[in-house]
């Protein structure tokens, strides 16, 4: 059970909530938390395993949610789904940086056009719904200022991040122009139970975990000293819930990252210490070098001050909790 910060737990009961991408990693963990605290949850998901959809992610509560199989590019399905909904959490996305470069038009459809469809449906059907949209810290590209806050310039290096820039701006434009209560939470490298651990196309830290579980070495591009932030799923879910239930979040974007930053090789070593494993340093392939952002350190002051968010799980505890989950369930993730 995800521990929800006390300041929001009492607000969740009986709320009608739609989670797009609810079969994925972040969406399913969010659904678990909402159901535990009494919300009425509908999942809207196209069930694409390449985008992270996994029916096992809702194994513990599949009879307690309404599941709609549909795509964000299906406007009529969105219109029907958002009627009488109080809060929408838009977790639907194609999250692979690598695949976005291989299939840019597909990424455009999912991460940009789909968001516009959702916003148009809200504007015409349910203007009083609250929308929380997931962004990403990689929107900023290579950082010119460290640590970077929400005012940092945005020069993304891959198509996924570029479409996340565009979709965030769409959300904020609709919020301002049509008085829609909408918020963007930019998440970094989230890890934990129900993550995609079978492929390097997604978040690197979860892939490292998958390699260790399979008794394979973690491969890191030399020298692996670039800085990253990783955050346990419980803290990510709390950031989304605070945005969804706060009266002070509308029309704004927030960076939600943990307090600590580590080098990639240090993160890999911590994963090996918990899961068992080894590290191999290898040369950079050109396609990865061209989209590498370098050191990535972020400032989470704004979300702490305005939404009263706080980190509750450090990396050591988070990795232990992640191991507890996958030691029992890993066969459903390969």
Across residues 156-176, what is the average pLDDT? 97
Domains and CATH numbers, the chain: 11-195+229-260+297-315 (3.40.50.720)
| CA 254 to centroid of chain Cα atoms | 13
Contacts of 328 (CB under 8 A, 6+ apart): none
pLDDT-derived band of residue 6, with 50, 70 and 90 as boundaries?
low
Residue that is written with structure tokens 């009425």 in the block: 40
Give pLDDT tens digits for 45-84.
Answer: 999 988 889 999 999 898 999 999 999 999 999 999 999 9
Q: How confident is the model at residue 10 (pLDDT cuts 50, 70, 90)?
A: low
- Asked if omega into 182 is within 30° of 0 (cis), the reply is no
What's the mean per-residue pLDDT of the chain? 94
DSSP 283: P
| Alpha-carbon span 334 to 331, nearest angstrom | 6
pLDDT of residue 9: 66
- Angle among Cα 40, 50, 200 to the nearest 5 degrees reads 115
- In the predicted model, is pLDDT for residue 333 greater than 70? yes
The secondary element (H helix, E strand) that includes residue 114 is: helix 114-125
Contact 248, 210 (CB under 8 A): no
Count of Cβ atoms closer than 10 Å to residue 150 Cβ: 17
Whether residue 118 contacts residue 89, with contact meaning beta carbons closer than 8 Å, is answered with: no
Residue 313: pLDDT band by 50, 70, 90 thresholds?
very high
The region of weakest confidence among 7-11, 58-62, 123-127, 225-229 is 7-11
Q: Return d(Cα 231, Cα 318) in angstroms, integer.
A: 8
pLDDT band at 285 (very low <50, low <70, confident <90, very high): confident
pLDDT in tens, 225-283: 999 999 999 999 999 999 999 999 999 999 999 999 999 999 999 999 999 999 999 98
Does the pLDDT at position 200 exceed 90?
Answer: no
């Amino acid at each position: 059970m995800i521990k929800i910060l006390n300041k929001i737990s009492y607000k969740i009961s009986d709320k009608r909530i739609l989670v797009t991408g609810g079969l994925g990693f972040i969406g399913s963990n969010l659904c678990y938390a909402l159901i535990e605290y009494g919300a009425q949850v509908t999942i809207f998901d196209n069930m694409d395993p390449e985008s992270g959809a996994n029916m096992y992610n809702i194994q513990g509560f599949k009879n307690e949610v309404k599941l709609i199989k549909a795509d964000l590019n299906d406007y009529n399905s969105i219109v029907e789904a958002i009627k009488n909904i109080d809060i929408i959490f838009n977790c639907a996305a194609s999250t692979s940086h690598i695949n976005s470069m291989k299939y840019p038009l597909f990424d455009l459809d999912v991460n940009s056009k789909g968001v516009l469809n959702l916003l148009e449906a809200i504007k015409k059907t349910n203007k009083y719904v609250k929308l929380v949209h997931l962004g990403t810290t990689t929107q900023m590209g290579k950082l010119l200022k460290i640590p970077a806050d929400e005012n940092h310039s945005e020069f993304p290096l891959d198509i996924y991040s570029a479409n996340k820039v565009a979709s965030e701006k769409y959300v904020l434009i609709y919020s301002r122009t049509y008085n829609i209560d909408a918020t963007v939470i930019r998440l970094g490298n989230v890890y934990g139970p129900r993550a995609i651990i079978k492929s390097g196309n997604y978040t690197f830290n979860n892939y490292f975990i998958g390699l260790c579980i399979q008794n394979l070495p973690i491969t890191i591009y030399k020298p692996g000293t670039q800085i990253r932030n990783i955050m346990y799923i419980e803290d990510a879910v709390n950031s989304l819930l605070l945005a969804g239930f706060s009266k002070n979040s509308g029309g704004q974007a927030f960076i939600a990252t943990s307090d600590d930053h580590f080098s990639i090789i240090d993160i890999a070593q911590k994963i090996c210490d918990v899961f068992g494993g080894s590290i191999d340093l290898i040369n950079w392939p050109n396609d990865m070098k061209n989209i590498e952002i370098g050191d990535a350190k972020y400032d989470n002051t704004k979300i702490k001050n305005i939404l009263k968010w706080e980190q509750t799980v450090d990396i050591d505890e988070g990795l232990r909790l992640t191991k507890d989950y996958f030691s029992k369930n890993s066969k459903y993730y390969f």
